[in-house]
Structure 1
């Protein structure tokens, strides 16, 4: 896609062609068919290996183009007065359309459209998908063009992507690496759910306990740069779903929740055992790998019922 730094923007247009040319990395043409002055909006978060964007139109349009090379792209409607037609099939709230790198697409919207799209580097996704899926399933995924999922799951995932964009627009974005991890996990969760891999995938208690223990040791050994869930999967050579099930069965929490709580408890102990002049809240957060002080404070308050500054310090 040709980008080397993360770009976050929200733009409004009165010309659908200008709008089409503003979606970074996409070769496409938008034609307006509905009469009247067009009003469109484009919100996008674009990085080197992933992209999330939401586009809205208040007129009937036709979109023709091709997905970026080397990307796997998912498209889902946020809301629409009438279902649009994507690749000849209705685009509804119960389905997600899949576009593979370089694949041509054709979208017709009978009225206004509000569409959310996410694209990831296929090589990065395949690295983790190879531990998640069998060769047969990977072959199936390489040809799939539509994911039919529970509406509740699509709604939940869509809201998550919307929050990532909106937080970035107000200057509260996670780091590019953290965002990429979340987008990759998003893709893996949807693909995993679409394939309905629910039979025969539960790890036994001994293996689950071992994986949790090893993950905890890795996290404690790298407190300043805590490993991501995908890092842990790579180091332990297990799939994301196996690791997640192990944590849920042993701790009752997802890996990211448990390991974050672990670091927050370390932070609390450090605050309680030091004087304010000796160690600041910002320094504690930074030492434990929390890159955003606001996110640290919010998570700390949620877990302990008080902000870090309200925690009693040593005297």
Structure 2
């Protein structure tokens, strides 16, 4: 078994796994795991990366590779026992980003020292090189470029075209990195415990949307907005517009922060500033509250708690139950029984 953050992967086979960004064939598990004792076999597990590994530290090698394939995103987790010199180059039209789960010791990525706090951008026109230490544990997210850019605001698309042009290390906030780690754990948790999610389009769409949003938000951290802070009169107008848009129905889990930015015509940072200054919470927290309230109302008419949660884009039901109880003081199952008897 393979464990991290409460995730247990029960499958121990990776034969006939689909190519990245392709859904698994009918009957195959959406989460797979492979174990190796050979660095060349380990390097070949990420198909399409043209990787080569050289072992730097002495001792027998052991590697583990986990992969999960959704409708439009491929996730992986790689654990390697020895220090390695890794090189590779991805195919054009691919966005691939890694977030370390454990990275201790001397390590460099594309000529820069890394300490586990940065994101690793693997994709781009050039090859990447990675001197990884013993005991590396890294999770990764792979998107088609077109799908990923669709999750960005207009200003982020412009900066990301250049930022993702070459492999590099990218600074992120601790919160942004932690959100990606938690999402990876939650996705693997759901796919392992509820394999039916692999054929549930609404839940898959919500899951993919959340991953793209978290990745876009983390990658956009380095961009500084030009000009002065948003003037106070405009702040309230922006927040009012955003709240009106959030209240106008939903499609697979309500409007996203990216969609708000595009509709209102501001950057992600500007929207964050306006919400914090006006309401005291960020737009993501506000939209999550809107979704929780929507799910609370849906429970009155839904045939199950799961249906009400999925209607509002909640795909990790354990987290939904915790957030619901924190917001309303009772579990959604308790609310369902109270309403339906």
TM-score norm. by structure 2 comes to 0.73
Q: Secondary structure at the match of 2:138?
A: strand
2:54 pairs with 1:31: yes
- CA distance in 1: counterparts of 2:294 and 2:71, whole angstroms: 34
Larger Rg over CA atoms = 1
1:216: which partner in 2?
A: 246
1:50: which partner in 2?
A: 73
2:34 pairs with 1:11: yes
Gaps in structure 1 of 5+ consecutive residues: none
2:102: which partner in 1?
A: 79
Offset, 1:142: 4.8
Q: Which 10-residue stretch deviates more, 297-306 or 262-271?
A: 262-271
Offset, 1:66: 0.8
Counterpart selection for 1:302 from 323, 326, 330: 326
Note the aligned Cα RMSD (angstroms).
3.6
- CA distance in 2: counterparts of 1:289 and 1:155, whole angstroms: 22
Q: Is the 8 A contact 1:2 1:48 kept in 2?
A: no
Q: How does 1:154-193 map to 2 (within 5 A)?
A: 155-157=177-179, 159-168=181-190, 170-171=192-193, 175-193=203-221
Q: Is the 8 A contact 2:66 2:78 kept in 1?
A: yes
Q: 1:143 to 1:133 in 2, by over 3 A?
A: same
Q: 1:263 to 1:169 in 2, by over 3 A?
A: closer
Offset, 1:53: 2.2
Q: Secondary structure at the match of 2:79?
A: strand
- CA distance in 2: counterparts of 1:141 and 1:52, whole angstroms: 21
Q: Is the 8 A contact 1:63 1:108 kept in 2?
A: yes
- CA distance in 2: counterparts of 1:148 and 1:235, whole angstroms: 28
1:313: which partner in 2?
A: 339
Offset, 1:153: 4.4
1:101: which partner in 2?
A: 124
Offset, 1:303: 1.2
2:144 pairs with 1:121: yes
Q: Secondary structure at the match of 1:100?
A: coil
Q: Is the 8 A contact 1:10 1:169 kept in 2?
A: no
Q: Is the 8 A contact 2:309 2:315 kept in 1?
A: yes
Q: 1:200 to 1:131 in 2, by over 3 A?
A: farther
Gaps in structure 2 of 5+ consecutive residues: 1-18, 25-29
TM-score norm. by structure 1 comes to 0.77
